[in-house]
Amino acid sequence: MRFDVISIFPQAVGGIVSIGVVGQAIEAGDISVHLHDLRDYTDDPHRVVDDRPYGGGAGMLLKVEPFVRAIEALRPAWGPRTTVLLLSAQGKPFTQKDAVRYARGDGLVLLCGRYEGVDERILSFVDEEVSVGDFVLAGGESAAALVIEATARMVPGVVGKYESVATDSFYDEPRVGAPQYTRPPDFRGLKVPDVLLSGDHTKIEGFRAREAWKKTAKNRPELLGLSPDEGRPASGKDEDRG
């Protein structure tokens, strides 16, 4: 799978995706990441990519022309099932289901905004406008790295064991993952639940499923249609530890 990032700071993305499983996948040839400087697609000697917004207001906007020139110049290298994304605080939330869907395609193109955003007319040249959360970043580069990592993990062969992604939070159900433990079994009086030490895999899977739903209700009650008060344990602590 091919990823293309178009940004005024493409090197910021390269540093993040060059490590861990994504970096290993690049080295193995399972995915490729191509970084493009938006300033290379300007038509003026000063390589200007931003301008003041019509109607006034604070800050500057990235211009539409350089992004469109980049898309048109790079398109011949893309497969027919390539999705072009604008990373924006105004976009629809990026989810695990999106990562799975993107991973089934040929490639993903990520346009990184900066300053006060991008000229709205860019939406006529992209497939989707995506947000990574209800907050504002200085630019789309960290968001691009996030989308690349989440999507790359869903590409066959990138993560060694299928179980590692099949048990991820949000993989196939609207819930977070179950809590996990490792050695030592007792750390300053905080003990690993007995069921996880029992060797009974049926009981262990049942325990993990229950704990996953309990943690979802506590931390993400809206996923279950609950209010924050409904999802919060009455005591403020989990009651069933196995």
Q: How far apart are CA 230 and CA 223, in angstroms?
A: 12
Q: Looking at residue 55, which CATH number applies to its domain?
A: 3.40.1280.10
Contact 63, 125 (CB under 8 A): no
Q: H-helix or E-strand containing 215?
A: helix 201-219
Is 92 domain-assigned?
Answer: yes
Is 106 domain-assigned?
Answer: yes
Number of domains in the chain: 2
At 51 the pLDDT is 96
Whether residues 21 and 134 share a domain: the answer is: yes
**Residue 210: HSE in the Cβ half-sphere, 13 Å Cα cutoff:** 12
Is 50 domain-assigned?
Answer: yes
Contact 242, 195 (CB under 8 A): yes
Whether residues 221 and 130 share a domain: the answer is: no
Is 160 domain-assigned?
Answer: no
Whether residues 39 and 113 share a domain: the answer is: yes
Q: Looking at residue 200, which CATH number applies to its domain?
A: 1.10.1270.20
**pLDDT of the chain along its 242 residues, tens only?**
999 999 999 999 998 899 999 999 999 999 999 999 999 999 989 999 999 999 988 899 999 999 999 999 999 999 999 999 999 999 999 999 999 999 999 999 999 999 889 999 999 999 999 999 999 999 999 999 999 999 999 999 898 655 555 556 556 677 888 899 999 999 999 999 999 999 999 999 999 999 999 999 999 899 899 888 877 766 545 444 44
Whether residues 52 and 104 share a domain: the answer is: yes
Full-model pTM? 0.84
Whether residues 148 and 177 share a domain: the answer is: no
**Amino acid identity for residue 135 in this structure:** F
At 91 the pLDDT is 95
- At 51 the three-state DSSP class reads strand
DSSP-assigned letters across all residues of 70-106: HHHHHGGGS-TTEEEEEEEEEEEEP-HHHHHHHHTSS
Range(s) of the domain holding residue 185 = 173-231
Query: Helices 96-103 & 141-152, crossing angle to 10 degrees?
Result: 70
